[in-house]
Amino acid sequence: MRILWILVFLLAASSLAADRDLAGGYSGEWKSTASGNGGTVRFVLENEGGAWKGTAAFTLDGTEVPCTMRTVKVQDGKIELVYEFDAQGTLLRSTQKGEWKDMEFRGSYSTATADGQSIDQGTWSAKRKA
């Protein structure tokens, strides 16, 4: 029984270490499935003592849109980033979810107004910056 607990502990520890390896800067592309718009997306994942934080930005019509990161979740090779940004005086919130696969993150995003009204959704992918 003790061996089983040791194996469970080692598995959990290796999972945490693998997630920590995902810290760093990423850059890629996003594409709206609603409007067909797209651009670049960039984010940084940082792990400080087991707590994740980060930064994010994207381009829209060639203009960089800075974002305020609200939450960063990284677990078992999956991420969820929630960030806010201003779009012509309206505060919008995007939730970007993805999974690490084939040396890049890939996933989907959704954007809504502060009251939850859906504005946009689409896909994204990003590779680690060299």
Mean pLDDT by 10 residues, the chain (130 residues): 40 43 96 96 94 96 96 96 95 97 96 95 94
Q: What is the torsional sign of CA 66, 119, 61, 82?
A: positive
Q: Where are the domains of the chain?
A: 2-128
pLDDT at 36: 93
pLDDT at 50: 87
Structure tokens at 32: 């709206």
Helix (H) or strand (E) run with residue 48 in it = strand 38-48
CA 73/CA 51 separation, integer angstroms = 9
pLDDT at 12: 39
The CATH superfamily holding the domain 2-128 is Quinohemoprotein amine dehydrogenase alpha subunit, domain 2 (2.40.128.120)
pLDDT at 6: 38
